[in-house]
Amino acid sequence: KLKDRECRCLVLGLDNSGKSTVVDWILATYKNRPRQSITPTVGFQIHTVPFRGHSVQLWDVGGQSTLRPYWDNYFDKTDVLLWVVDAAAIARLEESMGELTTILRNRDRLGYNCRIVVLLNKKDLAAELPTVLERLQRDLVREWRLENVPIEVRASNALDGEGLATLLPLVVWGRE
C-alpha cells in the first residue's frame, strides 16, 4: 500500500544549527533541485523526497525559541527525529542537549519505534569535534540506550554533504 511507503523525518534543533542547509542538500541530491541560498526557517516546511520507492517527508521546523512550544505538534508518526547540532557552537551545546532531553523524556508523543539521529553538523568548523562526539557517546547515547531509545550520533558538513548520504537509508530502514 502507498501509505506504507510514506516515511516521516522530523528535522529539529536550535536555530542556526544548519537544518535548512541539511534539507537543501537532500533536495539537491535526491530531487535534482539546484542548491539554494538559505534563509532562516519561519514556521515550517514539508518536503517530499522520493527514495528507493518510498516517499520521504521531511519536516523542517524553525528552531527559534518562540517556535519550540509548537514542536510537539509535529511529533506524530515520526520515523526518524533528526536532531541537528552546530558542533562548532560549543557554548550552545548544553542548550541543545537540554532541548533534546526534554523531547526524549516525552517520547511517547513520538511515533512508535521512532529512531533518533543526532547530527553534529558544521564538522568543518568544529575543532573540538572528537571531544564532543566522545562526550555525547558517553553521556547521551549510553543513557538513552539504557531506556531502549535507539539513538545514534553522526557528524556532517551540510555545505558539501559529507556525512549526509546515510540519512535517508536510515529513515526508510525497516520499511523495506
Query: Is the CB of 78 or the CB of 157 nearer to ligand GDP?
Result: 157
Query: Is the CB of 27 or the CB of 158 nearer to ligand GDP?
Result: 158
Q: Is 96 annotated as a binding residue?
A: no
Residue of 64, 60, 17, 62 lying closest to 42 (CA atoms): 62
Containing 27, the helix (H) or strand (E) segment is: helix 19-30
Residue of 43, 45, 39 lying closest to 21 (CA atoms): 39
Kindly list the distances between the CA atom of residue 118 and the CA atoms of 54, 55, 87, 96, in Å, as whole numbers in the listed order.
23, 22, 11, 10
Contact letters (x/-) for ligand GDP, 1-20, by CB under 6 A? ------------x-xxxxxx
Q: Are 10 and 80 in contact (CB under 8 A)?
A: yes
The answer to whether 96 contacts ligand GDP (rule: CB under 6 A) is no
Q: Is 148 annotated as a binding residue?
A: no
Cα–Cα distance between 158 and 85 in angstroms, integer?
Answer: 11
Number of residues that bind ligand GDP (CB under 6 A): 20
Kindly tell me which residue out of 33, 35, 36, 40 binds ligand GDP, with binding defined by CB under 6 A: 40
Kindly tell me which residue out of 117, 158, 168, 171 binds ligand GDP, with binding defined by CB under 6 A: 158
List contacts with ligand GDP (CB under 6 A): 13, 15-21, 38, 40-41, 63, 84, 121-122, 124-125, 157-159
